[in-house]
Structure 1
Amino acid sequence: MTAYDFRSELLSVIPNLRAFAMSLVGAADRADDLVQETLVRAWDKRDTFTPGTNLKGWLFTILRNEFYSQMRKRKREVSDPEGAMAARLSTHPEQVGKLDMEDFKTAISSLPHDQREALILVGASGFSYEEAAEICGCAIGTIKSRVSRARAQLATTLKLEGDGEFGPDAVAVGVMNFSSPAA
Structure 2
Amino acid sequence: MSECPEFKGLLVKAIPNLRAFALSLCGNGNLADDLVQETLVKAWHKQSSFQTGTNIKAWLFTILRNEFYSQMRKRGREISDSEGTLTERMASHPEQDGKMDLQDFKRALTTLPEDQREAIILVGASGLSYEEAAEVCSVAVGTIKSRVSRARVRLSEILDISEASEFGPDKVTSHILSRAAMLDTI
The answer to which structure, 1 or 2, has the higher relative contact order (CA under 8 A, 6+ apart) is: 1
Q: TM-score normalized by structure 2?
A: 0.44
**What's the TM-score, normalizing by structure 1?**
0.45
Larger Rg: 2
